Amino acid sequence: MKIGIPKEVYPGECRVAATPDTAKRLQKLGFEVLIEAGAGKAANFSDAAYAQASCELVADPLTLWSESDVMIKVRPPMLHPELDKPEVFLLREGGTLISFVYPAQNHELLEDLADRKATVLAMDAVPRITRAQKMDALSSMANIAGYRAVIEAASHFDRFFPGQITAAGKVPPAKVLVIGAGVAGLAAIGAAKNLGAIVRAFDTRPVVKEQVESMGAEFLMLDFKEDGTGQGGYAKVMSEEFIQAEMALFAEQAKEVDIIITTALIPGVKAPLLITREMVESMKEGSVVVDMAAEQGGNCEVTKPQEVYRYNGVTIVGLTDLPSRMAQQASQLYGTNLCHLLDELGGNENFKIDFENEVVRGATVLRNGEVTWPPPKPQPAPQPAQSATPQPVAPPAPPKPEPIATTHPAAHAKHKDKSHHRSHKDLVWLMLAGVALIGIGIGAPPSFLSHLTVFVLAIFVGWQVIWNVTPSLHTPLMSVTNAISGIIIVGGILQLSGAPFSATAILGAIAILIGTINISGGFLVTQRMLKMFQK
């Protein structure tokens, strides 16, 4: 089979559906790769690089479209400006097209493609499931767009992102608010944080809170129990009360932050309005708003799609080609997504639109001219049927009998003799210890017994005191050390009550000094450890 890669004709589009590297991967899958001359020039991929990758360069777009079995593109088909003919009619009848299609918004395009008996797989319709992540072109492009949004904001912001203290004065760090913590939002958070800004983020889905905080940003919460998690990892439309609460939060944040990046999109509907005209007017002069939803109407009321302009001293960035502004990287990632999808389709030898494959079924919007979008919702796994006739219950198994010794009687008698000998030995040691204590009691002075009693009790009491100390501000080892030192100090104080310059008093004073140093050092080390974990 032949795969065709045309030059994108959308105004300002710099991406290409295959790079020299991904073209080699397509050839390994068994496909013959045809590419229009100059298709990769805007993404800094020369024709020579494609020729070196064994691709066939085709100068005439008509020839490319007519000879290719499968056409892979970035943008949906549109009017070809040079040929003055829609790309839909360049696709040969019964051919296959793989590109972004956006079937929810392009009903007429689907009808035209259906008339060509085409089979169409939409990269924007790939199911967002774990198994399909390597084919998820929406996430690939959103990742690039989020990063690029921060770069665009930095280029229009007239201050540093990180805070600085210089001889000429102190520069506070920029404050960035990211609305929406999907793939694009998380990429924007990461880029802004790496540039040194103070980053705040908001999302209607509480499940992303940990992801936001793990990247070092502050997650803004509303006192609402409503969850905005929708199907496919997207957010859903929230209640009127929730929207009013979040709008009040945005109005408050607009007065404080320097940069707002909005990423809120719900597939198939107009982008929700989040930043009103009044909010923009309340922002500090020199602030920046990057509206990543500009192509679908925008999250900001004053956004002009495909334009960058100043409104009331605030720069409004409404660019709709953020991934295209990093065309080389975007083309590589998108081309890799396409390679994985074509591999999922079976490659050249086993190429098949298999509706038993949930990834292929979800991405297919047309099959041989028949509209197959939207795909049916996945059915829950069938539950095992409950039988009306009660099943007989097996009687409980009888308890296992105790194992019967099968050793030889002589061996059993030998084992019994060993146990008997060991018990006699223990009894002998116990009797010897008793005799020793009696002998000590008879021969030792009367004060010895009282001291021995105190010593034994001190061992048990000290053990209980030391090991029951709760390590609230210390590690367990430090707590035990301080407890021992405390007992030593108490013992030293008691010894000071005797003669002032006796050996006992001097040793007690030394014990007090060393114990005090140990406890003080323990607290000092603990404080230094705690400061290591403080921001």
pLDDT tens string, the chain, 535 residues long: the values are 999 999 999 999 999 999 999 999 999 999 999 999 999 999 999 999 999 999 999 999 999 999 999 999 999 999 999 999 999 999 999 999 999 999 988 999 999 999 999 999 999 999 999 999 999 999 999 999 999 999 999 999 999 999 998 888 899 999 999 999 999 999 999 999 999 999 999 998 888 999 999 999 999 998 766 665 555 555 556 778 888 999 999 999 999 999 999 999 876 678 999 999 999 999 999 999 999 999 889 999 999 999 999 999 999 999 999 999 999 999 999 999 999 999 999 999 999 999 999 999 999 999 999 999 999 886 655 555 554 444 444 444 444 444 444 444 444 444 455 455 555 666 777 777 777 767 766 767 766 667 777 777 777 676 666 666 665 555 666 667 777 787 788 878 877 776 677 887 888 888 888 888 888 887 787 777 767 655 4
Tally Cβ neighbours within 10 Å of residue 257. Answer: 23
Enzyme catalytic residues: 128, 133, 136, 139, 234
Instruction: Calculate the alpha carbon distances from 218 to 185, 200, 213, 252 in Å.
Output: 13, 5, 6, 15
| Residues sharing a CB contact under 8 Å with residue 355, sequence separation 6 or more, in sequence order | 361, 364, 367, 372
DSSP H helices, 162-310, are: 183-194, 209-214, 240-254, 277-282
pLDDT for position 403:
44
Closest CA to 375 of 80, 132, 134, 192: 132
Q: Kindly report the number of other CB atoms within 10 A of residue 170's CB atom.
A: 8
Identify each DSSP E strand in 133-224 by its residue range. 164-166, 169-171, 175-179, 198-202, 218-219
pLDDT for residue 466: 65
| Cα dihedral 425, 430, 433, 435 sign | negative
- What integer pLDDT is reported at residue 16 of this predicted model? 98
Beta strands in 395-435 (DSSP E): none
Under 8 Å between Cβ of 117 and 89: no
